[in-house]
Structure 1
Amino acid sequence: MGGRRSAIFGVLLLLVISMSPGGLVDPKSVDAASSCNPEGAPTWGTDAELLTSSKEDNEWFLEQGFDITASNSRLSPLTDGFSSRVNITDGGHTAIRFLPMEGYRYTFCISLALAPNQTIQPSPQADIYLMEGLDYERYMVDEWYGDAPSDWYSFYGWIPYRDIHSYEGESSTEFAVTYEGGGTSSSFGIFSTSNSQGLYLVLDARNNSRDTDASAIGADLIGEVYVTVEERTMLPKISAYLLCCSLPFVVVIAPLILHQRYNRGGWHDSSVGHYIPEVDLMHMVETAQGSTSNPYVDDETDD
C-alpha cells in the first residue's frame, strides 16, 4: 500500500508543478531579449509593409513608403528578421505591418533620434505600440472621437496586442512576444475587418486617445528598428484546458480511489493476524441469593 500511495502522491505533485506559471508559460516568451542582432533590410511589400502618415494627411489615405502599389499587399509570413531606418513625422505616425507565424518569437528593438536640421532640440520620445489589424484601424481614426463619452470606448477604442505591448514616452525600448493570435480588443465593431492582416508595429509621434501617451514633441524623428525571429516549440492550446481541468478531477477522484484501495486491503483477513487461542470464561457459582463464590478459593473457616 505504501508504494501505491507514493505513486498517487507523485502524480498529484506533478500536476501541481505543471499548474504553476512556470509550467504553463515559457518565461522567455514575454521577456525582452538583451540585444537584437543586426539583420538585413526587408523586401517591402513581401516581408513587411511600411505605412506612414503626417499631421496633414487624411487618416483614410495613408502614404505608402517606397512603393505606393504595395498598400494592402499580400505579405509572406515573417520567418526571418530584418532591420530598417524609418522616418516619423511630428504629429503623425509610422507603422510596419508584417504577417506573424504562430509559434514564432519576435523580438523588437527600437531606438529613436531627432531628424537632422531640426529647429528645436527636444528629447526624442514617442509612443511604441504593437497591435492587430482591427485595433490599428481604430487607432487611425481615434482623433475623430476625441470628445466622445468614455462609455462609448468599447465601440471605437483600441488596445495594444494582449493589452500590454504599449511603451509610451520612450526613446528606446526592447520587447519580445510569441505570437498566438487573439490579442485584439474585439472581433467586431464599426471599423472591423479580419485579423489576418497581421500585426502592426506603430511608432506614434502624435497625441492619441490614450491618457498615458506622450504628446507630440514638435520635431521629426528617425527610428532604428530591429526585428529578430526565432522558432519556438509550443504545446497545443488544448493542453492548458486539460491541465486546468485535471487538477479538480484528481482532487475529487483521488479520495475515492484511496477509499477503495483501503477497503480491498484485507484488513479483516484472519491470515494476516496472529493466532489467538480460544479462552472460555470461568462461570461464577451461586451459593446463595445475592452472593457468589469462587470454587478455586478455599472457604474461610472460623477458628
Structure 2
Amino acid sequence: MTFCVTFYGALDENGNRAPVEARCHLMTTKQYQRYEQAYSNAHSSYGWWDDIDDLLADRAPELRRYDPMGWTTYRDVHAYEAVNEVSFSLSLDKAEVSRSLFSGEEWEDFYLVIDAWDNGHGGDATTPNSALYADVAAVATPRSFVMPPASVALVLIVLLGGMVAVPAVIQHRYSNAGLSEVES
C-alpha cells in the first residue's frame, strides 16, 4: 500500500491554497489508543500533562518508546513531522497480531493520523493559524515476493555449518597428505 498525503491551508487573497506544515503518522490499534490518551490529556482542563510533556520533550527519539505517557508510530519510521507533503509505502509480510497471556490474540488495525496540534514530539510543526486540508491517496500495490521468516534462520545455519565444515575438510586433507606411500 502506498500513501500520498498533501497538506493545504486556507485560501489566500489570490484564491490559491496556502501551503501549511502538518504531521502524518501511521499507527496500529494500540499505538492509536495511546495517541488518543495523549490528545485527551493535552486538551483537558487538568494542567499536569504540560509539566510532564515539557519534562520529557528533550528525550532522544529512541527512548520515547519506553515512555509510559507517550506514543510512537508503526515501526518508528512512519512519523513525518513538519511536512507539506509525504509519500510512503508499507509492505506487510504477515498480519499484525499481538498476543498476550492475559488477553489472548488481538488483531491490529492501521490508522493514518493527520494532526496539527503540538503533540509533544520534538521537531513537529507549529499549529497553523488556518484550517488544515489534506489530500490523501491510498494506492494498492501488487504484492511482491516476501521470503518466509524461517529463511533467515536457514541461511545462518548453513553459514555456521560451512564455518565448521570448511576447516574440518582442510585439516583432513592436510593430515592425509603425508600418509601416501612414495615409490623410489
The two structures have a TM-score, normalised by structure 1, of 0.46
Take 1:183 and 1:165, find their aligned partners in 2: how far apart are those partners?
A: 16
Residues 197-224 of structure 1, C-alpha deviations (whole Å, 9 max, x = no match): 3111111111102122112112112211
In structure 2, relative to structure 1, the CA distance for the partners of 1:157 and 1:211 (3 Å cut) is same
Residues 158-197 of structure 1, C-alpha deviations (whole Å, 9 max, x = no match): 111111111111111111121246989x978xxx997623
SS of alignment partner, residue 68 of structure 2? helix
Residues 104-135 of structure 1, C-alpha deviations (whole Å, 9 max, x = no match): xx2111111124589xx864110011111111
Take 1:117 and 1:181, find their aligned partners in 2: how far apart are those partners?
A: 45
CA RMSD of aligned residues (A): 3.3
Aligned residues: 161
* Aligned counterpart in structure 1 of residue 71 of structure 2, from 154, 158, 164: 158
The answer on 1:227 being equivalent to 2:138 is: yes
Residues 61-102 of structure 1, C-alpha deviations (whole Å, 9 max, x = no match): xxxxxxxxxxxxxxxxxxxxxxxxxxxxxxxxxxxxxxxxxx
Take 1:212 and 1:194, find their aligned partners in 2: how far apart are those partners?
A: 36
SS of alignment partner, residue 168 of structure 2? helix
SS of alignment partner, residue 138 of structure 1? helix
Take 1:112 and 1:168, find their aligned partners in 2: how far apart are those partners?
A: 12
The answer on 1:128 being equivalent to 2:24 is: yes
- 2:121 maps to 210
Contact 1:132-1:161 within 8 A present in 2 as well: yes
**Where in structure 2 are there 5+ consecutive unaligned residues?**
42-48
- Aligned ranges for residues 276-295 of structure 1 at < 5 Å? 276=184
Matched letter for residue 3 of structure 2:
F
**Where in structure 1 are there 5+ consecutive unaligned residues?**
1-105, 277-303
* Aligned counterpart in structure 1 of residue 108 of structure 2, from 175, 197, 204: 197
In structure 2, relative to structure 1, the CA distance for the partners of 1:187 and 1:139 (3 Å cut) is farther
The answer on 1:109 being equivalent to 2:7 is: no
Matched letter for residue 157 of structure 1:
G
**Who wins on radius of gyration, i.e. which is larger?**
1
Take 1:158 and 1:110, find their aligned partners in 2: how far apart are those partners?
A: 21
Take 2:77 and 2:96, find their aligned partners in 1: how far apart are those partners?
A: 10
The answer on 1:236 being equivalent to 2:131 is: no
Matched letter for residue 26 of structure 2:
L
Contact 1:114-1:220 within 8 A present in 2 as well: yes
Matched letter for residue 209 of structure 1:
G
Larger helix proportion of the pair: 2
- 1:49 maps to none
In structure 2, relative to structure 1, the CA distance for the partners of 1:194 and 1:181 (3 Å cut) is same
Identity across the alignment (%): 25
- 1:147 maps to 51
Contact 1:113-1:124 within 8 A present in 2 as well: yes
Contact 2:11-2:18 within 8 A present in 1 as well: no
Take 1:183 and 1:161, find their aligned partners in 2: how far apart are those partners?
A: 11
- 1:254 maps to 166
Matched letter for residue 30 of structure 2:
L
- Which structure has the higher relative contact order (CA within 8 Å, separation 6+)? 2
In structure 2, relative to structure 1, the CA distance for the partners of 1:172 and 1:195 (3 Å cut) is farther
Contact 1:132-1:195 within 8 A present in 2 as well: no
Matched letter for residue 222 of structure 1:
Y
Matched letter for residue 179 of structure 2:
H
SS of alignment partner, residue 178 of structure 1? coil
SS of alignment partner, residue 120 of structure 2? coil
Take 1:233 and 1:165, find their aligned partners in 2: how far apart are those partners?
A: 22
- 2:44 maps to none
- 1:175 maps to 88
